[in-house]
Amino acid sequence: MTIGTARYTPGGDEHIFVELSEEMSLEAFFKGMAITTALAQQKVPGVTEICPANASYQVRFDPDVIHPDAMLAILKRVEAEAGNAELDLDTRIVEIPVLFDDPWTNETQLRFRERHQDPTSTDLQYAARINGYANVTDFIAAYSGSPWFVSMVGFVAGLPFMFQMVERARQIEVPKYLRPRTDTPKLTIGHGGCFNAIYSVRGAGGYQMFGITPAPIFDPAQGLPYLKHFMAFFRPGDIVKFKSIDRAAYDAALDQVAAGSFDLRIRPVKFSLKQFLADPAAYNRSLLEVLHGN
């Protein structure tokens, strides 16, 4: 995929929104990460916030410190420089346990079935069918078989949006509910379009619901080891591997969460977009070897 010239749009007096591509891709995501990382490293006076997203980013600045025209010129320069970057990323890979086809999201689905495209099937059954999988078991295997990139964090506190690291032809795509629900269980694994999300808190939502994780991802009390540095766990650039678990493992993990001893498997990794694009399957296998210490 070729990424065209970025589109710059002012947002009032204090923001510039930059759209790098009209569609999500790893290339667009990595270019955005390269630009926002370089911008942060330059510590431009007047820049107060940098927010990367799926295929775009937004900058907030103080116009009394830096003129909007000067801010725009800096962003265009950084974009030009990022075009020559190797687009490598020092990040981490994380294993997230998931109880797929759980009783809580299934109960929620029943309460909102009139808002769904196919009221006669579960969200998993519907997603498996429209993506060409023979059954839910095969669908879950595909969903948890390849890692995902966290492309942005937001909407509600700590909620990650993820893009699966597979060829475009293998992307899992499922439409959102016809009308949003007024309830979604906390830590639901949801999917809308080509994006996965983990609902960090209980609330409204429209993504298809596939399962639930026992792992808190947002905790103002920061009571678990992996949350001790920040109350929101995920950050853009994280690589996530889902691990399907059974009910016994889920309940055991909840006991560990209550005791404050639950932890996640997290490993540092250097990701190369060039090497990934050359052979995604082989590169994903190498990432999983890092995750499991092989």
How far apart, in whole angstroms, are the C-alpha atoms of residue 194 and residue 54? 11
Long-range contacts of 44-47, Cβ-Cβ distance < 8 Å, separation of 24 or more: 44/71, 44/74, 46/71, 47/71
pLDDT for res 29: 83
pLDDT above 70 coverage of the chain, percent: 97
pLDDT for res 12: 87
Record the tokens describing residue 68, joined without a space: 């909007």
How far apart, in whole angstroms, are the C-alpha atoms of residue 188 and residue 177? 15
259-286 tens-digit pLDDT: 999 999 999 999 988 899 899 999 999 9
* pTM as predicted: 0.86
- Look-up of token digits 């999917």: 191
Long-range contacts of 217-224, Cβ-Cβ distance < 8 Å, separation of 24 or more: 217/158, 217/159, 217/160, 217/187, 218/157, 218/158, 218/159, 223/260, 224/257, 224/260, 224/262, 224/263
| 210 contacts: CB under 8 Å, gap ≥ 6 | 98, 100, 101, 105, 123, 124, 127, 140, 143, 189, 190, 191
Burial class (CB in 10 A: 0-12, 13-18, 19+), 229: exposed
pLDDT for res 86: 64
Residue type, 75: L
Nearest-CA neighbor of 91 among 33, 159, 4, 50?
33
Indicate whether 1 pLDDT > 50.
Answer: no
How far apart, in whole angstroms, are the C-alpha atoms of residue 130 and residue 191? 13
How far apart, in whole angstroms, are the C-alpha atoms of residue 214 and residue 241? 15
CA dihedral 200, 177, 123, 141 (to 10 degrees): -60
For 204, phi then psi, to 5°, come to -65, 160
Q: Which domains, from first to last, does the chain contain?
A: 7-85 (3.30.1360.40), 90-291 (2.40.100.10)
Record the tokens describing residue 246, joined without a space: 């059974």
How far apart, in whole angstroms, are the C-alpha atoms of residue 130 and residue 120? 14
* Residue 184: strand pairing partners: none
**Alpha carbon of 264 to those of 62, 64, 146, 225, 243: distances in Å?**
39, 44, 18, 8, 11
**Mean pLDDT for the stretch of residues 75-87:** 78
Residue type, 46: G
pLDDT for res 34: 84
Sequence-ordered strand ranges (E) for the chain:
7-11, 15-19, 47-52, 56-61, 88-100, 148-153, 160-164, 188-192, 195-198, 208-212, 239-244, 265-272
Q: How confident is the model at residue 26 (pLDDT cuts 50, 70, 90)?
A: confident
**Alpha carbon of 62 to those of 24, 35, 46, 50: distances in Å?**
30, 19, 5, 12
Record the tokens describing residue 94, joined without a space: 């994380």
190-224 tens-digit pLDDT: 999 999 999 999 999 999 999 999 999 999 999 99
**Mean pLDDT for the stretch of residues 152-180:** 92
